[in-house]
Structure formats: structure tokens, C-alpha cells
Homo-oligomer: A and B are copies of this chain.
Amino acid sequence: MDFAHSQKTQDYIARVKAFMDEHVYPVEEQIYRETEELNPTGDWTKWQMHPFIEPLKKKAQAAGLWNLFLPDDKLGKGLTTLEYAPLAEEMGRVLFASEIFNCNAPDTGNMEVLYHFGNEQQQEKWLKPLLAGEIRSVFGMTEPDVASSDATNMQATVEQDGDELVLNGKKWWSTGLGHPNAKITIFMALSNPENDKHSQHSMVIVPLDTPGIEIKRMLSAYGDFDAPSGHGEMHFTNVRVPKENLLVGLGKGFAIAQGRLGPGRIHHCMRSIGAAEKALELAMKRSLSRTAFGRPLIKLGGNGERIAQARIAIHQARLMTLHAAWKIDEVGVKNAMTEISAIKVAVPKMLQDVVDMAVQLHGGAGMSSDFPLARFAAGARALRLADGPDEVHMGMVTRLELKKYQ
């Protein structure tokens, strides 16, 4: 047992930190402020990226800090889940940093799907530009009219009609749908209702400009539209794509989804840990610099203890997430389900609590957009629902615990 990162990992951490120090932190606040100004609510079709983002992407690519999430040696950097995890943490400290390194959700998950399950043509056509950071993609799974915590509730349909697939249904909370570069979606839908429960669904790649797709709106999460990326609602009415756009085969949707979600949850959780570290750092700075009743805030009442509790909570969460990453690498997602569900339950809640503490120490400023705290809070809240709500993951942990007694 060895809790030290490998030399390779340590090097990558140092390089990502150095890049953040040199290129990202100096413009962090400016980009937050101007992104907000550039993207008022009201008409999401006018959303635009901050002009610094593309140049920063170029720099990251040039620095060899690109597609770090992808375990492939050539297309990515050949990092394991465990090796990538601490890099995701660094990126999680800044709301827009993942995109800079082409490591942002849901593109990472979609690239993994295309990498593992796409055929050569599909990879050429869609994986390549995604890996190049030229286009962005979304994922259509959650639906507005059913409890999507039970994925088998899915009502959208895909039917084969000759050489075409016909898609119908509504999807929402499709992250990134508002992004100017969003070009394709992976659409998951019911194709084979006659099959057993986990072989009824399929995944299809769909260009977003295909006729029949209507993007209804962007959704706010706790008031945060997450512009210019956004979370959107899209309606599919007799949308037709060639059957070459089908991933793997009809009925293979759940099998693909399983593989997609494991590393994705590590990424989300590690970014959450980075966000929590940032929140704690902001809390420390604020509570040292502001004074009430004659003392810096950190010396007042239970504030110091709350700082300690935050440090302990972050520390536990990080170890548990790194362990889950290690377990995925060692025995695969299927054999690491307790660990994956455990972090999915514990880490976003930890972030929510740490941010809440940090906001309280900031006073009103903490709730405003002057700090990233409110957006961290929105992100944490969303994560407690995304990729399976807490309750579903607790159910998974309980079920696997029960198995030991049967």
C-alpha cells in the first residue's frame, strides 16, 4: 500500500498546476465576469465563448496537456483513471478549466463511448474533431416526462426504417447543448421493447442540425444557466439518420452506458474535490481578511471548527475517490460498483456542505457571482441528481452489501 502518486503522475500534476498558475488563474475572475456579461439570459442562441478560451485551448494542446482523460497512448496521454484523477481535481478548481484541456463533460464521456464502441467511420467522423476540440457534443438520456432515476422509464424511441433510424422523444438536461460548438448528440432510446430490461435500448449519434430536432430552451440549475455551455431540452420528431449512426447494435445502449459512467463519475468527483479545495481556500482567505467584533472571522465561534470539518471531509473524499479510480483500473467498472456509488453519494454532498460553509463566511458576497461559490453550489446540487440520484446509488451499495449475506 502506497499513498504517494507515481513520479509520472506527480509530473503531470506539476505541469497542470504550472499551466493553471501561468495561464488560467491570472484571467479567472475576468473570464467569469465577462462571460456573465457576454451571456445574459433571454436568448441562449446568442451565447458566446469568452474570447480567451480558444487561445487557452491552443496553449494547453501545445503544452501537451490535452485529452488527458483518455487512456489511449496516442490519442490521449495513456493515463490510467488513477493517474488522471488528480489532474481532474486541479481542473475542478476553475469553472471553465476542463474545457481548456479538452477534458470537459459530457465530451469526455462521449469520446470514451466513441473510442471504445465506435467503428472506424464513426471515429473518423466524430471522435477526431472531438479530440481536436473543434466540436462539442451532448448526451440525450434524461427525459422530462418520467422519473429518469429509473433509466428503464425512458420513453424516447428509435425505430429502424430501411437504412434509416427514426428517432422520437424528448430529452432534457443535455449538458453543453447551448454551446456554440455543439454539433452532435448521442441519443439513447427504446428500440427493442421485446428484449429483457437491459437490452431494450440503443444509442445513436445524431448531428444537431438534423431536421426534426427542436431545441426548446436552456434550463437553469439553481439560477445558473452555465452559459455558454448550458443544459438544454430538445425534442425529436421523426428525426432520421442513417443506420451507420447506430453505436454497436440495437439493444446495446445499456451495455455502452455502463462503461461510460464509471470513469465519468471519478472525473465528476475529482473535479468536485478541486472545487471544494477552492471553496476552502476562499473561505480561509476571507475569514482571515475580514474582521468582526474585533477579531478575524476565523477566530469567531465555531468558524475554526467548520474549517477543520471541511478539511477532514475533503481529505476523506479525495482518498475514497482515488481508491475508486484505482479499483476501476485494477478490476474494472463492474467490480468497483460499491466504490463508484459510494463516491457518487458522498462527494457531491461534501462539496455542497463545504461550499455552504464558505458562502456563510463570505456573507452576501458568497452568494453573488463575485465568487464562484454559488456556481459550485449549483454544480454540487446538480451532481446529486446527475448520473443517478443519491438514492439510486445508495440502493446499489445496499444491494451489493446484501449480496455478501446470500
Interchain CB contact (< 8 A) of A172 among B303, B315, B364, B384: B364
Do A284 and B5 touch (CB < 8 A)? no
A221: Cβ under 8 A from any B Cβ: yes
CB distance from A32 to the nearest CB of B (A): 12
Q: A37's closest neighbor in chain B, by CB?
A: B42
- Cα separation A393 to B308 with both chains bound (whole Å): 9
A307 contacts across to B, CB distance below 8 A: 397-398, 401
> What does the 1/0 interface line of A367-403 toward B look like (CB < 8 Å)?
1110000110110011011100111011111100110
| Chain B minimum-CB-distance residue to A369 | B220
Asked whether, in the complex, the Cβ of B222 is within 8 Å of the Cβ of A150, the reply is no
The winner among A363, A395, A397 for most chain B CB atoms within 10 A is A363
Q: Does A211 contact B (CB under 8 A)?
A: no
Whether A381 contacts B359 by the Cβ 8 Å rule is: yes
- Contact of A40 with B by CB under 8 A: yes
Question: What is the chain B residue whose CB lies nearest that of A319?
Answer: B319
Stretch in contact with the other chain, from A88-96, A161-169, A264-272, A285-293 = A285-293
Copies in the complex: 4
A367 touching B153 by the CB < 8 A rule?
Answer: no
B327 & A142 in contact (Cβ 8 Å cutoff): no
In the complex, chain B residues whose CB is within 8 Å of the CB of A404: 284
Q: Are A3 and B284 in contact, CB atoms less than 8 angstroms apart?
A: no
Interface stretch, picked from A127-135, A241-249, A294-302, is A294-302
Q: Inside 8 A of A293's CB, which chain B residues have their CB?
A: 150
List residues of chain B with CB within 8 A of the CB of A367.
219-222, 378, 381-382, 385
The answer on a CB contact under 8 Å between B342 and A315 is: yes
Contacts A42-B40, A291-B153 given; indicate if A308 touches B397 (C-beta within 8 A).
yes
Contact A319 B323 (CB under 8 A): yes
Interface centre among A5, A82, A381, A384 (most CB of B within 10 A): A381
Would you call A18 an interface residue if the criterion is a C-beta within 8 Å of the partner chain's C-beta atoms? no
On whether the beta carbons of A385 and B360 are closer than 8 Å, the reply is: yes
Contact with B along A219-243 (1 / 0, CB 8 A): 1111111000001000000000000
CB distance from A11 to the nearest CB of B (A): 14
A387 vs chain B, min Cβ distance (A): 12
Please give the distance in Å from A270's CB to the nearest CB on chain B: 13
A363: chain B residues at CB < 8 Å are: 142, 147-149, 385, 389
| Given known contacts A147-B291, A150-B292, A1 and B326 CB-to-CB distance under 8 angstroms | yes
CA gap between A42 and B319 in the complex, in Å = 42
Q: Answer whether residue A41 sits at the interface, using C-beta atoms and an 8 A cutoff.
A: yes
Query: Which residue on chain B has the smallest CB distance to residue A153?
Result: B292
State in angstroms the CA–CA spacing of A319 and B368 once bound together. 33
Flag if A304 contacts B385 (CB, 8 Å): no
Q: Which residues on the B side are within 8 Å of A365 (C-beta)? A: 144
Q: How far is the CA of A113 from the CA of B330 in the complex (A)?
A: 40
Whether A4 sits at the interface, judged by CB under 8 Å, is yes
Within the assembled complex, what's the spacing in Å between the Cα atoms of A342 and B313? 9
Extra contacts besides A309-B345, A311-B401 (17): CB < 8 Å: A1-B5, A1-B82, A3-B326, A36-B41, A147-B297, A148-B363, A220-B367, A220-B369, A221-B368, A222-B378, A223-B375, A288-B402, A298-B402, A308-B398, A316-B316, A360-B385, A366-B385
11 A-B residue pairs with CB within 8 Å: A3-B323, A36-B41, A40-B40, A221-B364, A284-B401, A288-B402, A301-B394, A305-B398, A312-B345, A319-B320, A367-B382
A interface list, Cβ under 8 A from B = 1-6, 9, 36-37, 40-43, 82, 142, 144, 146-150, 153, 172-173, 219-225, 231, 280, 284-285, 288, 290-293, 297-298, 300-309, 311-312, 315-317, 319-320, 322-323, 326-327, 330, 338-339, 341-342, 345-346, 356, 359-360, 363-369, 374-375, 377-378, 381-382, 384-386, 389-391, 393-398, 401-402, 404-405
